[in-house]
Structure 1
Amino acid sequence: MTKPDTDLIIAGGGLAGATLALAVARMVPSLRVTVVEAFPLSPDALPESYQPSYDARSTALAWGSRLIFEELGLWHRLAEHATPIHHIHVSDRGHFGATRLHASEHGQEALGYVADNRWMGLCLMRELLETNVQWQAPAEVTDMTPMPEGVRVQLTSDDNGTRELTARCLVVADGGRSGLREKLGFQPSHHSYGQNALIANISTSDNHGFTAFERFTDAGPMALLPHGSPSCAGHQSALVWTLNDEALAEVLELPDTDKCRRLQERFGWRLGRFTRIGSCHHYPLTLTTVDEPVRPGVALVGNAAHALHPVAGQGFNLALRGLMTLVEQFRLATEQGKSIGDLDVLRRYQARHRQDWQQTVRFSDSLVRVFGQSMPPITAARDAGLVGLDLLPGAKRWFARKAMGLGGRRAVISRPGRLNRGGTRHE
């Protein structure tokens, strides 16, 4: 193939796609990157100041994800509106079992953080404006044809119709709902949990004390994450509430006061009285994995490769670790004079990320399955397990590392002044 139009095309400019673009620009600056995003970009997307909305959707960032964003030079921006999680409280409704994690016990500033998706997007865009990353927006990748040493990608937009770009590699980062993954021939495996996640922000009479609550109930797990000010423990939390179809339909029809009352019944009084609930969003809960997420010239990342139950807040954090693993393989390939779309390059990414995503999927899925059982022997065993986590330092340390996103294998990009995986410094 003659010199392609660009080296890397990223289909999707959301959090995963934009983070990948920034990581490549920072770590492998010789590569030309083009991001294709369905939503238009405008100057309004980058306001001079950020005013958080009560109804903003948010994402839980593990401590390991903070380390990644520090590596990308982005954390100093994100931290301005990232609420720290100092404590995690895990409990089983109606049973004695509980465990508590504290950042101070592990020598950390925080176990994780909660940040608005819009704020994260703004921070990424501001950083990307300082790079040579090119954008095609609004546009969508609608098809791809393999070619020797690369791919030919078809773009469709309302303004310019259909046109083509050639590249060394296409990375699909547009989530699992666009249909591009299936159109390119990837075969995802789906397991429905028969439940839905209701997402909303809530206010309580007691402040959250920078505590994240993971509450398992007979109707499914629920989580409340501290939200709002990064420096003052406030009264707002981000809610993830698991409901079956019938219960979801019933809750959505209730006035806000009755929603709060129903939530109070399920969660309890650890945060006092529920006083307000914001706009409710919901989506069906499905475990989705793609066993072979790479082909010559193409790789899937983020939710396009694996979508998890939100019970442990691991989805985006797993995606971040995968992105950094992929960028490390791009860096090595470039140093060795290989094409970044070479199947051997992409398979090395797959092999290095596989153990992490398999362990994370098993961890999240097992929590849902174990705490979804109501038989007395199982409830007794899991309650004993929660108490054991509180009493056994080794088990608690393992659980804390999982919660902090430090249990997976992740390459640290070698560049001047940074540490490689072996711990030696490159000057």
Structure 2
Amino acid sequence: MTANDTDTDVLIAGGGLAGATLALALARMVPQLRVTVAETFPLASNAEPSSYQPSYDARSTALAWGSKMIYDQLGLWPALAQHAAPIHHIHVSDRGHFGAARLHAAEYRQDALGYVVDNRWMGLCLVRELLKTQVQWLAPAEVTDMTCHGDNVRVTVTTAGETRELSARCLVVADGGRSDLRERLGFQVRHQPYGQNALIANVTTADSHQFSAYERFTDSGPMALLPHGSPTRASHQSALVWTLSDSELKEVLAMPDADKCTRLQKRFGWRLGRFTRIGECNHYPLALTLVDNPVRPGVALVGNAAHSLHPVAGQGFNLALRGLMTLVEQFRLAGEQGSNPGELAVLQRYQQLHRSDRVQTAGFSDSLIQIFGSPLAPLTAARNAGLMGLDLLPAAKRWFAGNAMGLGGRKARIQRPGFDNSKALNHD
């Protein structure tokens, strides 16, 4: 079976933020490839940014500066920026101790260290752009199986209760951290539970956030507050990630909102004044999940299907974006060389190029949780000194800032006086 005999070149299982971004990147950068997206949810009839109305309870994603550069490259950033709250400052602290680290975008001559964007807005912007391309959508549809046939794959797709097979040159699994397809295909997953849960909600404080993000480590687990709302006016609304044990989560969820705010105040402190409102609370168990070998002939895992990290450092989706761009580049090179995008050699190059980024970013996120989650006195003293050192040692601070800005696993440096970032960026 030749390429022209297949129904599509690349079939993406999952049309969420990762799958849709991959589809757009392929349409922009490898337009000769035929791309099909299978998504379990139907496309909304009003899937246009003009229909977007910001909601207090909207879930959001923290995009690092490096991720902003990726969306800029894809031509999507001008649209996303309309509802992207910038992060001008990051404040990292350890509750009950003096040590703290502070990062400021101005120190690196950047407009922001990152941005916080509502997931729904990102989805609408992606769909609007994809509808202008030749990308084909199957929605609602679910990929349930795949088998190899020579140089191509046969993919089983269920649509409206009916099952059919599609032929493709490569299947990309982008259906999230709880990927059923990943399990059906037999990929081996390393799962390390943290024994904690993430409670996600938006909160209002008496003081405005001044476009500051806070990472606060406490004896019961880390928490993060990210600026949310207007991209130009510092509002009083922040996006909360609150780490809780099973018993604490159950207790907090049973509380009236006023008591939730009081409990949160005790854990976070008064840097933003009094907590006056907490919105709809969502939660999920926390774990470090890694697939050591996310490729095989004709199939590749991306995004949360390949790796899920602790959310407090905000690295998961940013790592996924860098991986997507690495995969797109390998597909582009394969096309230039006349190779099949599903060839194992092509997918293994993607895996090898992305591995160091993945290992470093996962290690960075996990070490924060392990070090700051320990009550042992020696570690407490060491991390307190470490936080103070980050404020005092330029090289250490640049390293930490590079991770925060989504550059930790890439051959890139953050901007300094007299340094041109455009020449340093390397998407591996």
Q: Shorter-normalised TM-score: what interval? A: over 0.9
Determine the C-alpha separation between the residues in 1 that align with 2:424 and 2:381. Answer: 41
Aligned twin of 1:213: 214
- 1:20-53 Cα deviation digits (max 9, x unpaired): 0000000000000000000011322325242100
Indicate conservation of the 8 Å contact 2:49/2:121, yes or no.
Answer: no
Gaps of 5+ in 2: 413-421
Letter in 1 for 2:134: N
How far apart, CA to CA, are the structure 1 residues paired with 2:284 and 2:305? 16
2:190 is matched with: 189
Is the 1:352–1:409 contact (alpha carbons within 8 Å) kept by the matching residues of 2? Answer: no
For residue 231 of structure 2, give the secondary structure of its aligned residue in structure 1: coil
126, 147, 150: which one pairs with 2:149? 147
Map 1:383-398; keep pairs closer than 5 Å.
Answer: 383-398=384-399
Pick from 3, 6, 17: which aligns with 1:4? Answer: 6
The one-letter code of the counterpart of 1:30 is: Q
1:292 aligned residue? 293
* Equivalent position of 2:98 in the other structure: 96
Match in the other structure for 1:56:
58
Rate the CA distance shift 1:336–1:49 in 2: closer, same or farther, 3 A: same
Please tell me the residue identity of whatever aligns with 1:286: A
Q: Residue 308 of structure 1 corresponds to which residue in structure 2?
A: 309
Question: Displacement, 1:409?
Answer: 2.5
Paired amino acid for 2:23? A
d(CA) in 2 for partners of 1:139, 1:353? 29
Q: How far apart are residue 229 of structure 1 and its match?
A: 0.3
Query: What residue identity is the alignment partner of 1:22?
Result: L
Q: Partner residue of 1:76? A: 78
**Match of 1:249?**
250
3-state SS, counterpart of residue 229 of structure 1: coil
Give me the whole-angstrom Cα distance separating, in 1, the residues matched to 2:324 and 2:425: 20
Compared with structure 1, are the counterparts of its residues 376 and 232 closer, same or farther at alpha carbon in structure 2 (3 Å cutoff)?
Answer: same
Q: In structure 2, do the counterparts of structure 1 residues 333 and 420 end up closer, same or farther at CA, with 3 Å as the change threshold?
A: farther
Alignment partner of 2:195: what SS? strand
d(CA) in 2 for partners of 1:275, 1:344: 55
Aligned-CA RMSD value: 1.3
Deviations 1:341-364 (A, max 9, x none): 000000000000000000001000
**For 1:28-427, what aligned pairs fall within 5 Å after superposition?**
28-46=30-48, 48-159=50-161, 161-409=162-410
CA deviation vs aligned residue, 1:244-280 (integer Å, no higher than 9, x gap): 0000000000000000000000000000000000000
> Matches of 1:10 and 1:410 in 2, distance apart?
28
Distance in 2 separating the partners of 1:134 and 1:12: 13
Report the alpha carbon displacement of residue 410 of structure 1 after superposing the two structures with TM: 7.0
Q: Structure 1: how far apart are the matches of 2:295 and 2:145?
A: 16
Q: Give the whole-Å Cα distance in 2 for the aligned partners of 1:115 and 1:149.
A: 40
Structure 1 SS opposite 2:66:
helix
Q: 1:206 to 1:378 in 2, by over 3 A?
A: same
- The one-letter code of the counterpart of 1:363 is F
Provide the residue aligned with 1:416 in structure 2: none
The answer to whether the 8 Å contact 2:49/2:128 transfers is: no
Cα distance in 2 between the residues matched to 1:39 and 1:51: 20
> Deviation per CA, 1:95-151, whole angstroms, max 9, x where unpaired?
111010000001100000000000000000011011000001101000001111110
Deviations for 1:382-408, whole angstroms, at most 9, x for unmatched residues? 000000000001100110011000122
Tell me the distance in 1 between the aligned counterparts of 2:215 and 2:294. Answer: 31
2:195 and 2:245 in contact (8 A); partners too: yes
Query: How many Å separate the matches in 2 of 1:175 and 1:147?
Result: 26
Runs (4+) of structure 1 moved beyond 4 Å? 419-423
Q: Summarize the Cα distance change of 1:273–1:34 in structure 2 as closer, same or farther, 3 Å threshold.
A: same
Query: Counterpart amino acid of 1:253?
Result: A
- Report the alpha carbon displacement of residue 308 of structure 1 after superposing the two structures with TM: 0.2
SS in 1 for 2:234: coil
